[in-house]
Structure 1
Amino acid sequence: MARLYCRWRRVVLCVCTLFTSLVLLFLYVGILVTMGMVDTTTSGTDRDHFIAPGASRNNGYAPCSQTFWQNNQHGNAFWNNLQLVVDYRFNPIMSLHNSSRSCNKRTFYESVRRQSFSKVKGMLNSDELPEMLKDFVSSMHRRDYSTLIQPNGVCGAGATDEKEAPLLLLAIKSTELNFKNRQAIRKTWGQAGWVSGQSSKGEEGGGYVRRIFLLGRENYDDLGGNPLELLQRESELYGDILQWDFLDTFFNLTLKDVLLWKWFSRYCSRTRFVFKGDDDVFVNTVKMITYLQDQLNEPQADKEMKNFMVGYVIGGASPKRNNRSKYFIPESFYRGLYPAYASGGGVIYSGQLTKRLHKISERVHLFPIDDTYVGMCMIRLNTFPVHHSAFLIFDFAGNQEDEDCSYHKILVVHKRSPSEIIETWAQLKTRTQCWDAPLR
């Protein structure tokens, strides 16, 4: 019995010794593996975050992005830094104590824009700028100009017995001396009142159209006379002149947008759409009325109208750096690409969007290129214009103008002289076989 007990005792000791050895071996291997996984470049201090392999070049954190939230990414570009101050002020995250609700908003916006000028003072050497851009910079803080001539109607020239809200306001940029252009438009595509259309389903339709011409004033010293008296007589006759007291230059065209939005918000709040264009474009108004009515009949049209803008859209454009171009913008003034924008030669947007553009423009510094400025306002509304091939801002391509019904398939074409506008309108009205031609 004692001999059997000793034998089992030796067996148990052997098994336990073997098991203990295996446990110690596993522990040893585990410790070696763990030590091998530790980054030898780290210090002995404990870390409270995970370090991904290959990402510990800056004290254990992943490499910082070179562009995200980068300070001074626009260098010394004057407009970018000027606008950055305003954008920062209205950013709800960056500026928690926004006091815009505690005072008159208009006064508050003016104050913020004025403060931004003081913060970037000395960044731009205006002596190095071209004369036209230098003049713009000297007055870009101003946007509240008095009116010299107001239209007779509340919202431009139109029918006196409108049975419903106007469908379309034709807002046309012109100059004091372009009387022939205005007359050609009044006789043709710019006729105010009821304009008949035809829906895509063959149903008769139409809408009330109003008309307004947007003008600044000429440099009377250069003209050797003052055409204001003639313009006032023109206004009394047609009731469609809206003129402000600023110098009518290429870089001041942006003021016509900003002041139009303000005027529209006050006098034209019931108007559904605005066509804004130059006085040297041809417009197929009948097709435009039809197109706009179709948009209003689309599902969720009320929701879509909030952001509705359509035209010839240009995206990813670079500023012109050639100082011989009238669009020349030096890098010291603006850096980067332009946002997507609809060419200002002819563009349509909803009345709702017009009012929104008026409000957001208070937060955007004036820019010398008008259609680019509209794109800058649009991107701050988090929306973009829609491209439509019926807007021929750069004219017909090749021999397309000679094709059958070519003008019945477009909404806008640029550019045309007064005589060409009158001739084309006559052909448009008489070629009945083309009336049902679809848009491009």
Structure 2
Amino acid sequence: MGSGVPCLVRPGCQASACLRPSWFGWGGEGSLGKPSPKMAPQRCFRRLLPRKLSHVSLWKVILGLAAILLITSALRKKFVLQAMPEPISALTDGTFTFYFNWSVYEALFPHLQLYRCQEVIARDDLCQGPSRAPLLLLAIKSHLASGGRRATLRRTWAQTAEVGGFWLQPLFLLGATSNQKQLELVVQESRVFGDILMWDFVESHHHLSLKERCFLQWVHGHCQRAAFVFKGEDDVFVNPVALTKFLRQTPNVSHFIHGHIHYHPAVKRIGRDAIPLPLFPLGHFPHFALEKGFLVPGAALPALYQASLWLPTFPLSGAYWGFLALAVQLPHKHSGDFRAWEKMEDHLTLYQKSLMVHGVSMERMEKVWRELRGSTRGWPK
């Protein structure tokens, strides 16, 4: 047998000391974890090579392996990039085509585009209700200073309960504040009730869109079992018996966003909801539901979350939901039982048949709740 054949493949050849096991892997001569000073790693490697292999040939092998690794890495990156969708630059609903100039969004509203959702108060195990009942998540936008409103809602419709065959789970969505006293009160409130989810962006009108984007991320990561989500605000009255009845009896209820729908609402150029012309040159938005309260099917949440990754964050949260729904081709369906921004006669029958009513004082809300609880079957106690 020629001397140029490596010891590993020569019959009857004993493995060199550099291949004997030690506590740290393949170590030195007879040591338990201490490589022999007589056997450097380079010498071990050489003893496994044919003796006639020159230093030039060895370097060729090393360079060849390096080239293969570089090519493999480049191909892997190429296929990963090909698998990732491109940021959305345009959407159409058949009437209007909406273009998104990402550089303008980043210039005018950089924080909305660059912000990465960071929770201050987390709720990772909230969606753990009875598995026998489909989950209706009540996701309520609130403000740190609105502790009184949250208290009223907890005494009325924002309760953990089983109603109409659904398990209702309230969740209040908050941003941060620089007011340390308010922050401490909210942390204490969260410890007591366990129904607050809070991020570290500061509350503001434009940051409501961040609240929507971060909510979709949270749902995707922690609440995929939600059958439906009621997206609302903390100044509305919700009838949980009528709401769950609506979900049970409406045909194809999971195929739409349900609410008080604005069809191609006009863009405002002045006031709190003003949108700069360079950001959005068109005069109309896509359809979207009034933010005071609307229903989103749980089956659409994964696609809505993915769309939030590739759409710019629009500075108005209602229109932002409209773009998200358009991106995943989720249509809207109007229902007059989502009552908002209208003058109504304040009779108990109105609250009995309505899904949601906006413009109710906190005192009136509690009185209506007590009256309905005493007169309506299936009302949560």
* TM-score above 0.5: yes
**Residue of structure 1 in register with 2:242 after alignment:** 287
Q: Which runs of 4+ in 1 moved over 4 A?
A: 111-114, 123-126
**Residue of structure 1 in register with 2:277 after alignment:** 331
Given candidates 340, 350, 359, the residue that maps to 2:297 is: 350
Q: CA deviation at 1:358?
A: 0.5
Alignment partner of 1:391 is 2:369: no
Given that residues 394 and 413 in structure 1 are in contact (C-alpha distance below 8 angstroms), is that contact kept between their aligned partners in structure 2?
Answer: no
Given that residues 166 and 210 in structure 1 are in contact (C-alpha distance below 8 angstroms), is that contact kept between their aligned partners in structure 2?
Answer: no
**Residue of structure 2 in register with 1:257 after alignment:** 212
1:295-314 aligned within 5 A? 295=250, 298=251, 301=252, 305=254, 307-314=255-262
**Residue of structure 1 in register with 2:3 after alignment:** none
- d(CA) in 2 for partners of 1:152, 1:120: 32
1:167-246 aligned within 5 A? 167-195=135-163, 197=164, 206-218=165-177, 220=178, 223=179, 225-246=180-201
Secondary structure of 2:291's counterpart equals strand
Flag the structure with larger Rg: 1
Alignment partner of 1:362 is 2:309: yes
Q: CA deviation at 1:191?
A: 0.9
- d(CA) in 2 for partners of 1:100, 1:310: 41
Residues 391-425 of structure 1, C-alpha deviations (whole Å, 9 max, x = no match): 01214x3xx42456111111011123322221221
- d(CA) in 1 for partners of 2:200, 2:111: 13
Residues 18-54 of structure 1, C-alpha deviations (whole Å, 9 max, x = no match): xxxxxxxxxxxxxxxxxxxxxxxxxxxxxxxxxxxxx
- d(CA) in 1 for partners of 2:78, 2:235: 41
**Residue of structure 2 in register with 1:320 after alignment:** 268
Change in CA separation of 1:264 and 1:339 when aligned onto 2, cut-off 3 Å: same
Given candidates 321, 327, 333, the residue that maps to 1:374 is: 321
- d(CA) in 1 for partners of 2:220, 2:106: 37
Alignment partner of 1:407 is 2:339: no
**Residue of structure 1 in register with 2:125 after alignment:** 153
- d(CA) in 1 for partners of 2:279, 2:321: 18
1:49-68 aligned within 5 A? none
Q: CA deviation at 1:279?
A: 0.4
Residues 58-107 of structure 1, C-alpha deviations (whole Å, 9 max, x = no match): xxxxxxxxxxxxxxxxxxxxxxxxxxxxxxxxxxxxxxxxx9962497xx
Change in CA separation of 1:421 and 1:404 when aligned onto 2, cut-off 3 Å: closer
Given that residues 308 and 353 in structure 1 are in contact (C-alpha distance below 8 angstroms), is that contact kept between their aligned partners in structure 2?
Answer: no
**Residue of structure 2 in register with 1:86 after alignment:** none
Residues 307-336 of structure 1, C-alpha deviations (whole Å, 9 max, x = no match): 3210000012111122xx211112132111
Q: CA deviation at 1:377?
A: 1.2
Task: Give structure 2 stretches of 5+ with no counterpart.
Answer: 1-76, 90-100
Change in CA separation of 1:120 and 1:405 when aligned onto 2, cut-off 3 Å: closer
Change in CA separation of 1:358 and 1:120 when aligned onto 2, cut-off 3 Å: closer
Given candidates 94, 102, 111, the residue that maps to 2:80 is: 102
Change in CA separation of 1:208 and 1:386 when aligned onto 2, cut-off 3 Å: same
**Residue of structure 2 in register with 1:57 after alignment:** none
- In the alignment, residue 138 of structure 1 is paired with which amino acid? P
Given that residues 392 and 413 in structure 1 are in contact (C-alpha distance below 8 angstroms), is that contact kept between their aligned partners in structure 2?
Answer: yes
Change in CA separation of 1:188 and 1:100 when aligned onto 2, cut-off 3 Å: farther
Change in CA separation of 1:310 and 1:371 when aligned onto 2, cut-off 3 Å: same
Q: Which has the higher strand share?
A: 2
- In the alignment, residue 249 of structure 1 is paired with which amino acid? S
Given that residues 181 and 279 in structure 1 are in contact (C-alpha distance below 8 angstroms), is that contact kept between their aligned partners in structure 2?
Answer: yes
Given that residues 401 and 407 in structure 1 are in contact (C-alpha distance below 8 angstroms), is that contact kept between their aligned partners in structure 2?
Answer: no
Given that residues 124 and 332 in structure 1 are in contact (C-alpha distance below 8 angstroms), is that contact kept between their aligned partners in structure 2?
Answer: no
Change in CA separation of 1:125 and 1:267 when aligned onto 2, cut-off 3 Å: closer
Change in CA separation of 1:332 and 1:259 when aligned onto 2, cut-off 3 Å: same
- d(CA) in 1 for partners of 2:209, 2:321: 8
Change in CA separation of 1:166 and 1:102 when aligned onto 2, cut-off 3 Å: same
- In the alignment, residue 356 of structure 1 is paired with which amino acid? A
- d(CA) in 1 for partners of 2:105, 2:265: 23
Under a length normalisation based on structure 1, what TM-score does the superposition of the two structures give?
0.61
Under a length normalisation based on structure 2, what TM-score does the superposition of the two structures give?
0.70
Q: CA deviation at 1:270?
A: 1.3
Identical positions, percent: 29
Given that residues 341 and 384 in structure 1 are in contact (C-alpha distance below 8 angstroms), is that contact kept between their aligned partners in structure 2?
Answer: no
Change in CA separation of 1:293 and 1:228 when aligned onto 2, cut-off 3 Å: same
- d(CA) in 1 for partners of 2:234, 2:79: 41
**Residue of structure 2 in register with 1:164 after alignment:** 132
Q: CA deviation at 1:254?
A: 0.8
**Residue of structure 1 in register with 2:63 after alignment:** none
What is the aligned-residue RMSD (CA, Å)? 2.7
- d(CA) in 2 for partners of 1:125, 1:143: 11
**Residue of structure 1 in register with 2:116 after alignment:** 144
Alignment partner of 1:269 is 2:224: yes
Change in CA separation of 1:138 and 1:271 when aligned onto 2, cut-off 3 Å: closer
Residues 245-290 of structure 1, C-alpha deviations (whole Å, 9 max, x = no match): 1011011101111111111112111120000100001000111111
Change in CA separation of 1:207 and 1:329 when aligned onto 2, cut-off 3 Å: same
- d(CA) in 2 for partners of 1:154, 1:167: 11
Secondary structure of 2:267's counterpart equals coil
Given that residues 152 and 240 in structure 1 are in contact (C-alpha distance below 8 angstroms), is that contact kept between their aligned partners in structure 2?
Answer: no
